[in-house]
Amino acid sequence: MDQAFWLAEPGRGELRPVEVAAPGPDEVLVRTLYSGVSRGTETLVFRGGVPDSQHAAMRAPFQDGAFPAPVKYGYLNVGVVERGPAELAGRTVFCLYPHQTRYVVPAASVTPVPDSVPPARAILAGTVETAVNAAWDAAPLVGDRIAVVGAGMVGASVAKVLAGVPAARVQLVDTNPDRAALADALGVEFATPDAAREGCDLVVHASATSAGLARSLELLAPEGVVVELSWYGDRPVTVPLGEWFHSRRLTLRASQVGTVSPAQRGRRGYPQRLAVALDLLADPGFDALITGECRFAELPDLLPRLNGIELSALCVRVTYDNT
């Protein structure tokens, strides 16, 4: 019998049996090789922190149940197509599917993983897709002075993507000095907030804290832009719109992966954006974002530890006994 991970109630998860139906003519049966736990979003869901007003917006593509619980939630899944159309049979694919041993989805919902990308790294595709969308929203220019505030999974992905802008200076900013090793692995500078370089043309904020957002605004040069990527859930946020905000004519812009950036919306859709993310993952530097690993059977014990900040993890890779 196949199994899936469910949030039974806020703060408690469990594995539940699931019956997987045979795939139809336009569907695929996928056997999971790896899934990924994105610490920020999934711990927010785990503690029951999704506001009532955002239940629809936060819904994962193949989520079962409803917030706050019981709910089957997740969106970083890599597996092998066991049954499906000839062009997909036997292929390794990425899908925005929760943590489950096997599943059936429409064939159009899976994206083949390029041969240049190891399946164990491909679980990052959903997060790197968020970074791609943020880069489209930010529209960096050659030679820009850029800071990314918040060296979590999303912030680190954005820093890695923006490091490819020619002649750009990219600095990853975090309160945890241990993130310096992560920045080095990603090929960018590192600084704690008090030591971060000011005079930035662009700042991407991903710390999900009021202090981080305030520091992001402080780092800007006149007419600079902060792209806000943080998801705060049900937590109130204080934004300092006095001080330099008006006199420097600063801009605070939202970015969210649920819609394709207006900068590309007329030319590229969701499949094309995900394909760009998977192409980027040929770079082994992204391996630095995977900082832990557990077996599928250990997920109910792992999530409370992540939620309690007992682990200094970015993405935790989940392995399945059938791999």
> What is the count of structural domains for the chain?
2
Asked if residue 285 is part of any domain, the answer here is yes
Q: What is the CATH number of the domain that holds 68?
A: 3.90.180.10
Q: Which of 141, 142, 145 is nearest to 173 (CA)?
A: 145
Residue 235 has what pLDDT?
78
- Kindly state whether residues 138 and 81 are assigned to the same domain: no
Instruction: Say what the pTM is.
Output: 0.91
- Kindly state whether residues 82 and 7 are assigned to the same domain: yes
Asked if residue 81 is part of any domain, the answer here is yes
Asked if residue 265 is part of any domain, the answer here is no
Q: What is the CATH number of the domain that holds 196?
A: 3.40.50.720
- Kindly state whether residues 101 and 30 are assigned to the same domain: yes
Integer Cα distance of 180 and 311 in angstroms: 17
- Kindly state whether residues 162 and 74 are assigned to the same domain: no
Q: What is the pLDDT of residues 200-244, one digit of tens each?
A: 999 999 999 999 999 999 999 999 999 999 988 777 888 888 878
Residue 243 structural domain = 129-254
* Cβ-based burial of 109 (10 A; exposed 0-12, middle 13-18, buried ≥19): middle
Residue 157 has what pLDDT?
96
Asked if residue 32 is part of any domain, the answer here is yes
**Cβ-contact 147, 215 below 8 angstroms:** no
- Kindly state whether residues 170 and 194 are assigned to the same domain: yes
- Kindly state whether residues 119 and 207 are assigned to the same domain: no
- Kindly state whether residues 138 and 64 are assigned to the same domain: no
Residue 313 has what pLDDT?
66
Integer Cα distance of 141 and 25 in angstroms: 46
Question: Tokens standing for 19?
Answer: 């019956």
Q: Which residues pair with 28 in a beta bridge?
A: 105
Integer Cα distance of 153 and 49 in angstroms: 19
Q: Which residues pair with 100 in a beta bridge?
A: 4
Asked if residue 163 is part of any domain, the answer here is yes
Asked if residue 275 is part of any domain, the answer here is no
Residue 308 has what pLDDT?
61
- Kindly state whether residues 134 and 107 are assigned to the same domain: no
Radius of gyration in angstroms for the set of CA atoms belonging to the chain, rounded to a whole number: 20
- Kindly state whether residues 88 and 57 are assigned to the same domain: yes
- Kindly state whether residues 32 and 95 are assigned to the same domain: yes
- Kindly state whether residues 9 and 70 are assigned to the same domain: yes
Q: Going residue by residue through the chain (323 aa), what tens digit of pLDDT does each one get?
A: 999 999 999 999 999 999 999 999 999 999 999 999 987 778 889 889 888 888 988 899 999 999 999 999 999 999 999 999 999 999 999 999 999 999 999 999 999 999 999 999 999 999 999 999 999 999 999 999 999 999 999 999 999 999 999 999 999 999 999 999 999 999 999 999 999 999 999 999 999 999 999 999 999 999 999 999 998 877 788 888 887 899 999 999 999 888 999 999 989 999 999 999 999 999 999 999 998 899 999 999 988 887 665 445 689 999 998 65
Asked if residue 276 is part of any domain, the answer here is no
**Cβ-contact 202, 139 below 8 angstroms:** no
Q: Which of 254, 273, 297 is the last residue of a domain?
A: 254
- Kindly state whether residues 243 and 287 are assigned to the same domain: no
Question: Does residue 223 come out as left (phi exceeding 0), alpha (psi in the -120 to 50 range) or beta?
Answer: left
In degrees and rounded to multiples of 5, residue 220 shows phi and psi of -80, 145
Asked if residue 48 is part of any domain, the answer here is yes
